[in-house]
Amino acid sequence: RESALLELSRKRDSIPDLAPLLWNSFGTVAALLQEIVQIYPCIHPPVLSTRARFLQASIPLYLYPFLHTSSRTRPFEYLRLTSLGVIGALVKADDREVITFLLHTEIIPLCLRIMETGSELSKTVATFILQKILLDETGLAYICQTYERFAHVGAILNKMVQFLSREMSARLLKPVVRCYTRLADNPRARQALVTTLPEALRDDTFQEVMQQDSSIRAWLQQLRNTLDPAGSQLQQQQQPNASAAAAVAAAVNNALPGSGLYSASS
């Protein structure tokens, strides 16, 4: 790649249309972005000083076609990971402007799709991006604004827990638990999680992983403590012959009016 870039720099004067040719060629922009982003860890402090212009140019949108791919071959997986890495570097800065930009794009459904079907590493990065979006107040409110959005996120997280119960991974479990913990900060989402939280997060399924990583144990314990009081309160309010799941589903359905999934206007 270094040799290719050097050769291109030598041709810039002899080929007047080199810039538009490169911009419209397949994969070139992504490769150039990767070269740029690789430098940031070497900067002290490692910050994206051009983040605002990066977003104003909508550069992340050029990476989305790579996130849409479903091929499991190694080249396509590398493309997905590189693209996710760029988005992950953006959200890592905890910048409200970045979150607002991403919420007006299709990044959430793209991440949920990768969380469901990607490799373990792709799942981990995609879940980290979702976690960082949820940690922002705007992101949490956006996902919990409608029942459909919350239900979609909840369903994918549930599948992640099922996957992790078979394929133990502390690296992947940590952002999954953090996503649940953050969702529980929303009153309406907390009501739903009382009955929809996977059983594997209530019992000792991940005991071995928690012994290896104390932070996972702490976050999971916080999640359980948050949900237990709410669960007791809901049970006291329900009729003896009422189904807990049906009651919570109805309550959440009323609290979170269905107004579409991830439309930018919502």
Average pLDDT over residues 46-72: 80
Kindly write down the DSSP assignment for every residue of 174-186, as one continuous string. HHHHHHHHHHTTS
pLDDT at 215 over 90: yes
pLDDT at 250 over 60: no
- Name which residue leads in pLDDT, 252 or 109: 109
pLDDT at 162 over 50: yes
| pLDDT at residue 260 in the model | 47
Q: What is the pLDDT of residues 113-149, one digit of tens each?
A: 999 999 999 999 999 999 999 999 999 999 999 999 9
Q: Measured at the alpha carbon of residue 55, what is the angle toward residues 54 and 60, in degrees to the nearest 5?
A: 85
Alpha-carbon gap, residue 179 to 164, rounded angstroms: 15
Confidence band for 62, pLDDT divided at 50, 70 and 90: confident
Average pLDDT over residues 28-48: 67
Q: What is the pLDDT of residues 196-206, one digit of tens each?
A: 999 999 999 99
Measure CA of the first residue to CA of the last residue in the chain; give whole Å. 43
Find which of 29-43, 65-79, 110-124, 246-260 is predicted with most confidence, using mean pLDDT: 110-124
Cα-based distances in Å from 138 to 39, 94, 112, 156, 176: 30, 12, 18, 21, 19
- Name which residue leads in pLDDT, 48 or 240: 48
Alpha-carbon gap, residue 54 to 141, rounded angstroms: 25
Alpha-carbon gap, residue 73 to 83, rounded angstroms: 16
Specify the CATH class of 10-186 in words. mainly alpha
Average pLDDT over residues 7-12: 76
pLDDT at 248 over 50: no
pLDDT at 5 over 80: no
| pLDDT at residue 76 in the model | 87
pTM value > 0.85: no
